[in-house]
Amino acid sequence: MREDFLHFLWRWRRFDASKQFTSDGQPLEILHPGEPNLHAGPDFFNARIRLNETLWAGNVEIHLNASDWLAHRHDTDPAYDNVILHVVFDEDQRLCRSNGEPLPCFVLRDRIPPQLLEKYFRLEHERAWVPCEKSLNAVPNIVRLNWLDRLLVERLEQKTESIAQVVAAAGQHWEEAFYRVLARNFGLKVNVEPFEALARALPLRLLAKHQDHLFQLEALLFGQAGLLSEKFEDDYPKALAKEYQFLQHKYDLQPLPAGQWKFFRLRPAGFPTIRLAQFAALAHRSAHLFSQLLETTNTAETEQLFTAEISAYWRTHFRFDKTAAGRAKPLGREFVHLLLINTVAPFLFHYGRTKGLPDLQDRALRLLEELPPETNTVVDGWVKRGQRAANASQTQALLHLKTRYCDVKRCLECAIGNAILR
């Protein structure tokens, strides 16, 4: 048993509340369990109890064993002097406050409903893909949908924390920050770090100076990526390398190591060379994507912003000096949707919250609702268990549920887990 189960029992009063007494026989009435404390200090604050007809207001501390109070050194911490009740599973030791007064203790061991305890242990020890796999489909649909709505906001809030750091690092320059986040997400999972480093090494203001010349944009991006240092056979990469040498000297640029880019186990359409060509095409279309994004009014317009034609060389090549049998394409619709999901929606959400523009936050949520559901192994796993998503809003919530709750067994903090334990 974990301590968080006792927190769950106490918070929702899921224990036998008849004939309540402290361990030393004092009549006890729990008027309010208090509010969970998410920071340092006692577990619940602003609780209210009646003890021997005396009304007490203060904090509640919860432990599996009473002796944990001493093990955690609460007896020497002034923050615990106003604890009015110690709630434990086992009272293995009688305790006193720092002034010598007995610390009232409420024992839960014999007050937990057996059926609830059985359900808890089943969730705790289940080794399935998700702990509640066998009970999941018995949860009312309204509970699941409401919880997914909450998880989506939680996921966006989590993403905006990292975006806020990028905005701060960019000196509150929103256009530059958007460029960096967009570049990072161009790398997907495999080349995230190289793309992120490239955006830092090649500021947007520099790309903006060459926005009208796709060739120069490619020279800057491929050169700074460290991919123009080889001896080439084709005229096009030779020309790019020559152009980059001029721009490198002009702007005093230091290229990144070429070895950090990963090609292994990627489809040719996902090679970093193709992504860099697509990124150059996007910069060629506009150096102020974020400003344009704020002016769009619907999903179709937003999606259209990310439609850009790559240069002729990359229509027949996936790598330098190697003619491809297939044909490279501009940004595919599925990839654009991933950019909208992982870059545009959270960025709009954060910008709207920072600037006090709730309409932009609503627009971010609406964008996710209007995009089709994602396809990946986690979403496929949910589908196999009868949880089919209707749109990207729900797939994002399901991803958050799996990684932030199921995988770390936060069942007691999950609305679905709570419904199962009822």
d(CA 143, CA 329): 43
How far CA 328 is from CA of 211, 312, 323, in Å, comes to: 22, 10, 11
CA distance 28 to 267: 66
**Structural domain includes residue 169:** yes
For the segment 150-204, what is each residue's pLDDT rounded down to a tens digit?
A: 999 999 999 999 999 999 999 999 999 999 999 999 998 999 999 999 999 999 9
Same-domain status, 349 and 278: yes
Is 146 inside a domain boundary?
no
Instruction: Read off the pTM.
Output: 0.86
Return the beta strands (E) in 295-415 as ranges: 317-319, 322-323
If one counts the domains in the chain, the total is 2
Instruction: Kindly state the tokens that stand for 283.
Output: 């910069």
- Give pLDDT tens digits for 24-58: 999 999 999 999 998 889 999 999 999 998 999 99
Structural domain range at position 230: 151-370
Radius of gyration of the chain (CA): 29
122 assigned to some structural domain:
no
User: pLDDT digits over 95-117, tens only?
Assistant: 988 778 899 999 999 999 999 99
Tell me how crowded residue 376 is: count the other CB atoms within 10 A of its CB.
Answer: 11
Average pLDDT rounded to a whole number, residues 410-422: 92
Q: pLDDT exceeding 70 applies to what percent of the chain?
A: 99
On whether residue 400 sits in a domain, the answer given is: no
User: Quick one: 108 and 155 in the same domain?
Assistant: no
Q: Is the pLDDT of residue 284 over 60?
A: yes
Give residue 327's pLDDT: 65
pLDDT, one tens digit per residue, over 189-224 is 999 999 999 999 999 999 999 999 999 999 999 999
- Return the pLDDT at 330: 67
Q: Are residues 102 and 195 in the same domain?
A: no
Residue-level length of the chain: 422
Please check whether residue 237 lies inside any domain of the structure: yes
User: What region, left, alpha or beta, does residue 319 occupy, with left being phi > 0 and alpha being psi -120 to 50 degrees?
Assistant: beta
Condensed to tens digits (0 to 9), the pLDDT of residues 331-383 reads 789 999 999 999 999 999 999 999 999 999 999 999 999 999 999 999 999 99
Report the pLDDT value the prediction gives residue 331, as an integer from 0 to 100: 79
Q: What is the pLDDT of residue 76?
A: 87
Mean pLDDT estimate for the chain: 94
Instruction: Assess if residue 330 is contained within a domain.
Output: yes
Claim to verify: residue 352 and residue 241 sit in the same structural domain = yes
Element (H, E) at 62: strand 54-65
Answer yes or no: do 182 and 314 share one domain. Answer: yes
Q: Which of 92, 210, 116, 287 is nearest to 124 (CA)?
A: 116
Do 93 and 181 belong to one domain? no
User: Domain boundary at 355, 370, 385, which?
Assistant: 370
Whether 204 is in a domain gets the answer yes
Tokens 């705790």 appear where? 124
Inform me whether the pLDDT recorded for 328 exceeds 60. no
Instruction: Judge if 203 and 336 occupy the same domain.
Output: yes
Mean pLDDT of 122-131: 91
Q: At residue 389, does pLDDT exceed 60?
A: yes
> Which range among 14-28, 236-250, 315-329 shows the weakest confidence by mean pLDDT?
315-329
In order of 128, 135, 411, the CA distances from 122 in angstroms are: 11, 10, 11
Asked if residue 157 and residue 97 are part of one domain, the reply reads: no
What's the confidence (pLDDT) of residue 329?
66
Task: Assign 159 to helix, strand or coil.
Answer: helix
What pLDDT is stored for residue 78 in this prediction? Answer: 87
The answer to whether residue 132 sits within a structural domain is no
Residue pointed to by tokens 């060459």: 210
